Structure 1
Amino acid sequence: MATVEDRWTRKDRTRTAEYGKGLRWRAVWTEAGRERKKSFATKDAAKAHLTWIEHNQRSGTYVSQDRGRVYVKEILPDWFASQIHLKASTRQATKSDLAFTITPYWGDWILADIRRSDVQEWVSGMDKAPTTVETIYGRFRTFLNWCVQEGRIVVSPAKGVKMPKASKRPHTYLTPAQVRLLAGTIQPHYSRFIWALSLTGMRIGELTELRYGDIDRRRRRANVTRAVAWVNGTAVVGTPKSNLGREVPLSNKVLEVIGDGPPRDLIFTSPRGMRLRPNNFRSSALKKAVAAACEADPAFPPGMYAHDLRHTAASLAVSAGANVKALQRMLGHANASLTLNLYAGLFDTDLNEVATRIDGLFSAGED
């Protein structure tokens, strides 16, 4: 039976040995056959706590205090084992974040003792890029949400935590002449890789896993069903982003630079014929090529990234007449709204074209 006890005075109003020590009012209730107690400053607060417990016990939403009195490191493996929906590359990256960032910091914390301010302090003190901080925080937040679902805590302490602001870098689009220039300044082995990145819009992890057997030359299509991600120096092959396989249209120029080869062979490799590592490509080849292109063309963007070639492909496709839906399919976005949000500026010229066509409808009927 739930009751409220006065720790300081007895029923005959005489003082107890605890008089003046700690909080005066104690809520007492039964949980799973065991007596539980918690002290409060006022009698009303103790009553309110018992009312809350009674309501949640009846509704089945009550969380036992004992279930939250565990070390985070004791239950992190159970959470990770439950993440069977993750792609192989994401699972490997999550495992790495648990080992090197999350467990070293949170492992010896008692789950029930974690407060929102504790999570905020951790996030604010992480000496990493804003996008990396958000990714690692997202994994820990998912873990805490799982703890709520498992009935270990009532509310996730990650709720309401503020993320560091990342400055949004504007997209860089190369002109056709600049694509040609970059392909000519980079070391010859990577020239056709530049052309493929710039004209297909494939992600670098998709293109480095593309094999000759994925090319349908008759239909001029590339079947993109796999992608490779590098996690702690290990290549992990899985599905493309959002698990969306697709067909990418190939221009004659791309078909020319791709060439032919055994179906199982990778199309793009390192100069030594090994699997191409994006970081090596960026540091050893692309950086030097961009510098050389800037010397040849003062208008060439000096801070160009490899991913800007994907943006370039989007720009060239729109210039060639692609609509939002076609661009979405080409780039492998989950939906057209994502494509439009990313590349709305590329379609601004369409507005002028609409106005011109409307004028044409009326001028055609004028004398």
Structure 2
Amino acid sequence: MSSVAKRPNGRWRARYRDADGVEHARHFLTRAAARRWLDETTADRLTGRYVHPRAGRITLADYYARFAARQLWQPTTRRAVDHALATCPLGGTELSRLTRADVESWAKAMADAGLAASTVRARVAALRAVLAGAVRDRLIVDNPCAGVRLPRVAARTREAVLPTPEDVERLIAVAERRLAVAIALAAHAGLRLGEIRGLQVGDLDLLAGRLTVRRQVRATAGGGWEATAPKYGSVRTITLPAHLTDRLRRATSSRSPGAWVVGGRDGRPVHPTTLARRWSAAKAAAGLHPGLRLHDLRHFYASFLLAQGVDVLRVQRALGHARASTTLDVYGHVLDHRGHVTDERDPEMVPSFVSGDATGGLQ
């Protein structure tokens, strides 16, 4: 039930009762304004956009505590959003009073304080995600972060540093034993560093020449580590070239299924700084470009597959990307370097799903 009536003081009173029978009223200078408010409220109730007038009286900080408690976030995501909201000066503001101007002022203050554009964008994105939850919870009608202009992140250009197959073989030859296995897994199976650290002997099926990526290991605060699902949930099975199967067989002989393929001396996953230190030494010993990263061996792997004519969807699955567009965005440019990967080579270097088994490489 709703109505518009003129008050003795000449103002117009619009009122309605909600589903609980509670009356809500506002006063306006004109009848048209009062009627428009009622019509908009009625439309919101019919379309599911209705928000109770008192719903947004909870502060941002209090709402975030409730919102965060029910999110299925990775620990690193939780820490990042916690930090973003902790630095936000709007925590004591009620949700219903938050405006786009408030968010714009915060973004401007961060930029003026010298924070990187990427940091400003990440923190505002965290607030936007929280307030999107408030919209879904019917606490506010619209997200005040919508339409906020943020500083641009300058495009970072990095010349691709792609090793040749001969470079990779030299690296493996001069590397410490555990690093040699890590190099082979990155260059010939496309594993990320976290996936290499998370690979266990039980993930290998060397009789079939396959490995399954089931987890990654990441560093945590205080120097610890945690095992989580692979990035983007990209659990996948990869068929291995024969030479990599042989290397893994030698490296894991007589070891238990729960042992780390590339483990530390204390029985834990190898520490990334240990690999980094030995990687630098191996590059120097092999006489390679100092800017070459271990992660660039994924570029090597991807460029090799693309140059051999493997379709983008299968390369996406091999690399564990969430979308094929990501594979094109990140690795499409390496086709400009096909000379590094299409020279005559030992057939044993070619993964089985590329040469002779076009259907069996990925599962």
Q: TM-score under structure 2 normalisation?
A: 0.75
Residue 315 of structure 1, CA deviation: 1.6
Residue 262 of structure 1, CA deviation: 1.8
Q: Residues 123-160 of structure 1: CA distance to partner in whole angstroms, max 9, x if unpaired?
A: 45176665555554443322211111111011111222
Taking the aligned partners of 1:123 and 1:293, their CA distance within structure 2 comes to 47
The aligned residue for residue 278 of structure 1 is 272
The aligned residue for residue 258 of structure 2 is 264
| Alignment check: 8 A CA contact 2:84 2:126 kept | no
The aligned residue for residue 55 of structure 2 is 67
The aligned residue for residue 229 of structure 1 is 218
Percent identity (aligned): 26
| Alignment check: 8 A CA contact 2:84 2:127 kept | no
**Unpaired runs of at least 5, structure 1:** 12-24, 351-367
CA RMSD of aligned residues (A): 3.3
Q: Residues 312-355 of structure 1: CA distance to partner in whole angstroms, max 9, x if unpaired?
A: 211233344533233222112234343234333345699xxxxx
Greater Cα offset, 323-332 or 62-71 = 323-332
Taking the aligned partners of 2:175 and 2:119, their CA distance within structure 1 comes to 30
Q: In the alignment, does 2:198 pair up with 1:201?
A: no
| Alignment check: 8 A CA contact 2:15 2:26 kept | no
Could you tell me which amino acid in structure 2 is paired with residue 10 of structure 1? N
Taking the aligned partners of 1:281 and 1:128, their CA distance within structure 2 comes to 31
Residue 161 of structure 1, CA deviation: 3.0
User: CA, structure 1 residues 140+278, in 2 after alignment: closer, same or farther (shift >3 Å)?
Assistant: farther
Taking the aligned partners of 1:246 and 1:144, their CA distance within structure 2 comes to 35
Q: TM-score under structure 1 normalisation?
A: 0.74
User: CA, structure 1 residues 96+332, in 2 after alignment: closer, same or farther (shift >3 Å)?
Assistant: same
| Alignment check: 8 A CA contact 1:249 1:330 kept | no
Could you tell me which amino acid in structure 2 is paired with residue 253 of structure 1? H
- Aligned counterpart for 1:112 among listed residues 96, 109, 122: 96
- Aligned counterpart for 1:145 among listed residues 126, 132, 150: 132
The aligned residue for residue 19 of structure 1 is none
Superposed counterparts of 1:277-356, under 5 Å = 277-279=271-273, 281-282=275-276, 284-287=277-280, 289-290=282-283, 292=284, 296-297=287-288, 300=289, 302-347=290-335
User: CA, structure 1 residues 342+41, in 2 after alignment: closer, same or farther (shift >3 Å)?
Assistant: farther
SS in 2 for 1:3: strand
SS in 2 for 1:340: helix
Superposed counterparts of 1:65-104, under 5 Å = 65-83=53-71, 86=72, 90-104=73-87
SS in 2 for 1:158: coil
> How many pairs are equivalent?
324
User: CA, structure 1 residues 50+158, in 2 after alignment: closer, same or farther (shift >3 Å)?
Assistant: same
Could you tell me which amino acid in structure 1 is paired with residue 4 of structure 2? T
**Pair member with larger Rg:** 1
- Aligned counterpart for 2:245 among listed residues 255, 258, 266: 255
**Unpaired runs of at least 5, structure 2:** 339-363
| Alignment check: 8 A CA contact 1:26 1:37 kept | no
Taking the aligned partners of 1:38 and 1:178, their CA distance within structure 2 comes to 75
Greater Cα offset, 105-114 or 204-213 = 105-114
The aligned residue for residue 240 of structure 1 is 230
User: CA, structure 1 residues 316+26, in 2 after alignment: closer, same or farther (shift >3 Å)?
Assistant: same
| Alignment check: 8 A CA contact 2:56 2:96 kept | yes
